[in-house]
Structure formats: C-alpha cells, structure tokens
C-alpha cells in the first residue's frame, strides 16, 4: 500500500510556470505556428520553407551559408528544406563556379510569383494578433534584442 502524498510547499515565484520567459515564448510560438498553418497551407509551404522564401524574396541569389546565417539554421537542417523547395519548382540550387563547395540559391519564376500570393499573410497575422503595427514592431524589436543578448551569453 502506498503512503499518501506529502503536501509540498508551493514553488517559489522563480519556478512558477507563468513566470518563465521561456514558457511565454514557447507558448506564443505554438500559437503563432497554429495561426500560420492554414495560411501557409494555402500557398503550399511549411513554416520553415516560408521563412526561407521570405529571405529569398528579400535578396535572391544567396549562398546556402548566407541563408543559414539569416535563419539561424545549419546546413544539415537547411539542405533538406531547400531540396523540397527545389522539388516544388520554387528555387534552383546552383554550384558556385569559383568554388564548387558553395551552393547559390535562386528563385525560379514560380518562386517569384508565389510572393504575390504570400503578401496577404502578414496582414492576416496583424489582424489576428489584435495588436497595432507599432505594438508588433516594438515586440519584434524586443525579441531581436533578447535573441542578440542570448547569442552573446
């Protein structure tokens, strides 16, 4: 027969779930991903693919290493994602003529055209967030600052 559970003292405030910045970020990320899923399904992209396409719509012709730096992804994670985008006909991966170890990513005509269909996504996210554009811009800035500080530490 097991003994009855011994009542424990409540956790100190530092260990309470709702006081954890990591949990606030994690749960907000889950909610954001849930919001994006149907929007991205409508254009045939996963969230990581969408992020890669955002970078390429901003600056076409990047090397895989440059794209990885922008997305904070290593080549082992990025390569399968890029292969899937290539199979969809959205990008082309080309070996650099000066250094065959380097691979340049370029948008195809279909990849460039997809940008027009994706332009509604940020507006949908803004509307669903129920925040103003300045509020979201401030939050984005705070998160970038936090990311920078965490990378330094």
Do residue 111 and residue 124 come from a single domain?
Answer: no
Mean pLDDT of 112-121: 97
Mean pLDDT of 104-120: 97
Domain assignment present for 13: no
Q: What phi, psi does 101 have (nearest 5°)?
A: -75, -20
| Distance of alpha carbon 26 from alpha carbon 108, whole angstroms | 34
**Arithmetic mean of pLDDT over the chain:** 93
Strands 91-95 and 103-107: antiparallel
> pLDDT tier at 99 (50, 70, 90 boundaries)?
confident
- Burial environment of residue 108 by CB neighbours within 10 A (0 to 12, 13 to 18, 19 or more): middle
Do residue 114 and residue 124 come from a single domain?
Answer: no
> pLDDT tier at 45 (50, 70, 90 boundaries)?
very high
> Range of 152's domain?
120-153
């Amino acid at each position: 027969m097991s003994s009855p559970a011994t009542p424990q003292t409540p956790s100190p405030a530092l260990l309470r779930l709702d006081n954890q910045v990591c949990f606030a970020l994690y749960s907000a990320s889950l909610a954001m991903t849930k919001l994006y899923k149907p929007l991205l399904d409508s254009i045939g992209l996963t969230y990581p693919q969408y992020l890669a396409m955002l970078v390429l719509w901003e600056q076409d012709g990047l090397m895989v290493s440059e794209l990885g730096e922008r997305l904070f992804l290593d080549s082992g994670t990025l390569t399968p994602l890029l292969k899937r985008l290539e199979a969809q006909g959205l990008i082309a991966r080309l070996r650099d003529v000066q250094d065959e170890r380097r691979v340049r990513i370029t948008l195809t005509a279909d990849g460039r055209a997809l940008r027009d269909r994706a332009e509604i996504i940020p507006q949908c996210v803004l509307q669903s967030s129920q925040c103003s554009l300045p509020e979201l811009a401030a939050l984005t800035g705070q998160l970038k600052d936090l990311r920078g500080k965490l990378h330094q530490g």
